[in-house]
Amino acid sequence: MMRIRISILSQCIEIYDDNDFFYRRYSISTAKNGAGEQRGSFRTPRGRHLIRAKIGAGQPENAVFVGRRPTGEIWTPELAAAHPGRDWILTRILWLSGREPGVNRLGDVDTMRRYIYLHGSPDTVEMGSPGSIGCVRMRNRDIIELFNLVPPYTPVDIVEFRVDGAQTETGAPTASAYGPAGEPLGSGHLRVDGCIDGLAVLEPWRGKGVGTALLDRLQESAAERSMGQVWLDVPRARTEFFQRLGFRQQGEAFLDSGIPCLRMIRQLPSVS
């Protein structure tokens, strides 16, 4: 199944295909009030979500929606000038629903009842910086492409961290994760033989998608370099995490400093 990650800090959406490989990245605009789940906060909710409904198929680009229904209007600068205070929802709507009761589902934190969407926006709206009143704004051409790509119930993770890619002095790709205040959360690097080395995430941030995001970025770097595969040696107790991400065991278990370990390997697609 495809999956989507939205980074509030990076102001971008990343799309992963049915084989769980990186596919596309879009610039976005989330809430100018920052992250938050409370009804009436005008903030972008965090956590695990899914696409509950797709609205607007077949509508022309810049079609105007109010209450999730097309008004028959087409956005133009003249229409915008006539309605200066309007929050424009254009072209397509992907309506999000939370998956975590008490966090972003049910009660006063329910994402769907807060009417949080991914939607198209006027070309005059700046992307790459916060500016919405809670929703995730996208360029019209991008929301059309995304709308056509993803089916209903596609998982959507909205995270409050970013992952930056860089290189060491020797040219080895690295990935580093940072939190809301710029604090380091984890990192890893890619060796020339395809080994993902030094992968680590701080304890308080484990289970929040940071490790997955670091692996995603390093695998993207490996595919760009036509490496063909990536691998790493992990303690037996942690193999389930890597199996969920498409890694498979190679060979038999071995001891590393007295700890039973397995080599996990993943074949990568070629990048044209």
Domain boundaries, the chain: 3-159, 163-267
CA-wise closest residue to 149 among 57, 29, 220: 57
CA-wise closest residue to 219 among 205, 229, 234, 204: 229
Instruction: Measure the CA–CA gap between 37 and 249, rounded to whole angstroms.
Output: 39
Q: Which of 49, 135, 189, 261 is catalytic?
A: 135
Tell me the per-residue pLDDT of 239-252, one tens digit each, with 9 for 90 and over.
Answer: 999 999 999 999 99
Calculate the average pLDDT of the chain. Answer: 96
CATH class of 3-159: mainly beta
Alpha-helical (H) ranges within the chain are: 77-82, 140-149, 210-224, 239-244
Tell me the per-residue pLDDT of 175-215, one tens digit each, with 9 for 90 and over.
Answer: 999 999 999 999 999 999 999 999 999 999 999 999 999 99
Is 49 an annotated catalytic residue?
A: no
Q: Which of 12, 49, 83, 119 is catalytic?
A: 119
On the question of pLDDT at 269 being above 90, the answer is: no
pLDDT score, position 271: 62
Alpha carbon 179 to chain centroid, angstroms: 15
CA-wise closest residue to 123 among 90, 86, 145: 90
Instruction: Measure the CA–CA gap between 98 and 175, rounded to whole angstroms.
Output: 28
The hierarchical CATH code for the domain 163-267 is 3.40.630.30
Asked whether the domain spanning 163-267 has the same topology as the one spanning 3-159, the reply is: no
Is 119 an annotated catalytic residue?
A: yes
